Homo-oligomer: A and B are copies of this chain.
Amino acid sequence: MSPKVGVAPLRREQIVRATIRCLARDGYAGLTMKKVARTAGVSQGILHYYFADKRAILVAALAAVTADLDRRVATAQARGSREPRTRLRALITACLRLAVEEREFWIVFVEFWGEMMHDRRLRAINAALYERMRRQIGTLIAQGIRAGTFRRVDRLQAAAVILALVDGVSLQLTFDPKAFGIATAVQFCEDALTRFLGKEAS
């Protein structure tokens, strides 16, 4: 059934990439195996050689998108300073930039939100992503608290609030791009963050 190893996980990636492009172009409801095959430049039959069914391709697509977000955040973290405040800002900026720079990925991500409620596997992938994010942010917050930069808060709950803010702002950025640009968005998050975590208001 499934190919063994090594030879061509390239094909899988190629197919997943095409799937993401199709989802971004035509939406979840408009996704067909035919379009994916055409976009990937392969035959229809091959899709079922590398994936059990359409659902499996979608799962792989969501996994790819979340992996990309992970990678972006990790890169931003690796480059930044050691200061918790700065690292936290870098993390948030990395997330917000996704919605602007990697528009295809972000669109697909939002589309999956709608389908998660009807598919356990999609839900699990998303839950794992948010779990990782909460832990990362939580760690930064804990460091900030220890360093005296932040006030004492429940680190995981604060992380959840920050994630919520980032998601919401990204959505606004997507649906009302004229309301404010990414620079303003980052500034907002920054401001909200300062006031939410800071020990004192200006």
A residues engaging B (CB < 8 A)? Answer: 26-30, 107, 110-118, 123, 126-127, 130, 134, 156-157, 160-161, 163-169, 171-172, 174-176, 179-180, 184, 188, 191-192, 195-196, 198-201
Contacts and interface: CB of A to CB of B under 8 A. Distances in A.
B160 A179 contact: yes
B191 A196 contact: yes
A27 B201 contact: no
Contact of A117 (B27, B127, B169, B201): B27
21 contacts: A26-B118, A27-B114, A110-B117, A113-B171, A113-B175, A114-B114, A126-B175, A127-B176, A130-B176, A156-B179, A160-B172, A160-B176, A160-B179, A161-B192, A164-B168, A164-B169, A164-B171, A165-B168, A191-B196, A192-B195, A195-B201
A188 B161 contact: yes
Contact of A168 (B157, B168, B188): B168
A37 to B, nearest CB: 19
Given A184-B157, A188-B161, A192-B192, A167 B171 contact: yes
B27 A115 contact: yes
Nearest 6 CB-CB pairings of A with B = A164-B168, A168-B168, A111-B114, A195-B195, A27-B118, A114-B114
Contacts of A157: 179-180, 184, 188
